[in-house]
Amino acid sequence: MKLVIVESPTKTRSLSKYLGGDFEIMASMGHVRDLPKSKMGIEIKELKNSRTQRKKTEEYEFLPVYELMNGKEAQVKILIAAAKRAEEVILASDPDREGEAIAWHVREIIKESRTQGIKNSKQGKGSKAKPKEIVFKRIAFHSITKEAILEALEHPREIDMDLVNSQQARRFLDRLVGYKLSPILWKKVRRGLSAGRVQSVAVRLIVEREREIEKFVPVEYWQIRALVRTQELKNSRTQEEFWVELAKYKDKKAEIHKMEEAKKILEILEKGEYVVADIKKSERKTQPHPPFKTSTLQQASANVLGWSAKKTMSVAQKLYEQGDITYHRTDSFNLAPVAIEAVRKFVGDSYGANYLPAGPRIYKTAGKVVAQEAHEAVRPTHIEITPEKFTGQEMAVDEKKLYSLIWRRTIACQMAEAIFDDTKVVVSAGKCDLTANGIVVKFDGWKKLFVKDNEEFQSLPEMTVGEKLNKEKVESLQKFTQPAPRFNDASLIKELEKKGIGRPSTYAAIISTIIDRRYVEQKEKKFFPTSIGKAVVDFLIENFPREMEYEFTAKMEDSLDDIASGKLPWMEMLSKFWGDFSRKLTKVDKESARVGVPTESTGEKCPLCDTGEVVIRDGKFGKFLSCSQYPECAYKAPYILYVEGVTCEKCGKRVVMKKTRTNRDFFGCEDYPNCDWASWKKPVQMSDDSSLI
């Protein structure tokens, strides 16, 4: 009997469909061993440190103290017992650094149990039996299909210690920063705070964007447009009416910033004769997007489905373990030749030869891909299984939505380009030139799979230069320039990837952590920094400028990649970081001043001391009311956020916004528990004519 160890029960069920009775398949239930939660768990030994050549000779050794994770004792005993019965142990965890680390920890635990068994055997009276040698093999596959699993079993390998050491290096770095820097934040900012090597830099992005918005001065401008109509109906399939927008005034680019200017131009347009001055047509071709990698999957899921990165990865994990998609943690756009062939056959059979390009499309990954992890893009394992074939109980709703997104992107990437006719019409009216842009679809190509996008295409009526148009109406719209938008899940992931901060497998954890720690909060899917987040970022930038640099954080990620590729010893990388960081910790602890967390005033006197003012503070569990004289005054009260203009649908009282234990917003009646009305969606007050306000 051969023992195969994977991470999850879902994976065991999937593998059981392809492996016969010679295999026993068991799950480790994720990680089984980790650094302890109650202490740092890393012993740091200084090996060499020359004062004259500190940077060249400084060297440390980092010795971890790994422990079984809580609740894993029973499962580990089962794995050890099964390993003793097996001819060989096949470690089949995920094909990335975390998966490699899981395989290594499982092997080490089983080996330690064997060593302990030999030791106990020697100590036992009259016992001469020696536990048999356990044979370990490591296999990795990027899709849970019969072909992929059998191929992996035919080509087992040793555990890749470069990948393991890269995972350990990241874990050690995060532990060193978290356990050494957090106490300083407690002392200098506020008790209960914690710091993260990558998370703090992500919060910096959000804080800096918020301050850009705060400093932004909007500029008034006026959009002026006219609704015009052709004098004759030339094509019943196209609209006669269309909008033209002011582009030039007196042969100069129109930049209208005052109402008085807008009124003058409106007078001209009201009296003017509208004539088609120019028509320009050009053919435009658009290429399909590459298949998904992790970051683009998370971005598309946020934009199309409105999902968080955490939810996307959770649903993708289920799809992978069920054998529906290839491994979902990847930096690669690469598709296996067999997959490309299957997609091209599907396109030709389903849509026709004109939707199939002459040759396969090959996409290159722009960023750096570690050799051991350069597997495929995220794609369906069976192209012929369309989203429509998943019905009833066969696939959960969320899984079907994400599968559909992945399937369409994969099929589209091997389809022919879409072809459009771009048309620009210039209409003159007095001293004004107005323009309209239209798009005519000549061939939808890959866009055929994205029907909703076609709704954006607008056609212009047929016209000729010199033709007169009828004016239906003219209007001016007052507008103001807008600052850069706040980050949401999709744009934050895009910015993190652009700056090289973190890696695809860490984005979901980064975002979840900064929300859970109350450094940022999400309102209507946009990120706002809290007062605590701003205070922590300011303190860290002032005292740890190197560690808070985007470039430094990106270089650390590159170093972890180099460790995974076997180009850099992991202890050398940790030593280089720790030497400077440890000295800075000592200096900041002794010399830096304590900083205060800004508060928001309510304008009310403190009911307890009558001298202080009631302010809004950010705490571990959200906002609360407190006295400005704290800690001299201990007044404290819950902060209630009322939703203006709406009342409870059940009893008519005010509606308040609350948060669940998982930090999700919901809305409820202020009279809870007497009234149990609640809603996930923000209620909107209806006016007398039932139109939304």
How many angstroms separate the CA atoms of 396 and 393, rounded?
A: 7
Q: Which helix (H) or strand (E) holds 59?
A: strand 59-64
How many angstroms separate the CA atoms of 539 and 593, rounded?
A: 9
How many angstroms separate the CA atoms of 515 and 488, rounded?
A: 12
Instruction: Pull the structure tokens for residue 309.
Output: 């990165």
Ramachandran angles phi, psi of 503, nearest 5°: -135, 160
In this structure, the number of other CB atoms found within 10 A of the CB of residue 279 comes to: 16
Ramachandran angles phi, psi of 514, nearest 5°: -70, -25
Q: Which of 249, 274, 327, 507 is catalytic?
A: 327
Contact 381, 326 (CB under 8 A): yes
Where do we find the tokens 């998943």? 390
Output the DSSP codes for 574-593: HHHHHHHHHHHHHHHHHHPP
How many angstroms separate the CA atoms of 592 and 188, rounded?
A: 8
* C-alpha Rg value of the chain to the nearest Å: 32
How many angstroms separate the CA atoms of 283 and 242, rounded?
A: 21
87 Cβ neighbours under 8 A, 6+ residues apart: 1, 2, 135
Decide if 635 is catalytic.
no
Instruction: Pull the structure tokens for residue 162.
Output: 């470069």
C-alpha to C-alpha distances, 342 to 353, 357, 406, nearest whole angstrom: 15, 14, 15
Where do we find the tokens 């939304």? 692
How many angstroms separate the CA atoms of 103 and 139, rounded?
A: 10
How many angstroms separate the CA atoms of 234 and 216, rounded?
A: 48
In this structure, the number of other CB atoms found within 10 A of the CB of residue 66 comes to: 15
Contact 273, 468 (CB under 8 A): yes
Which residues sit opposite 221 in a β-bridge?
479
506 Cβ neighbours under 8 A, 6+ residues apart: 198
Q: Which helix (H) or strand (E) holds 469?
A: strand 468-480
Contact 162, 461 (CB under 8 A): no
Annotated catalytic residues are 327
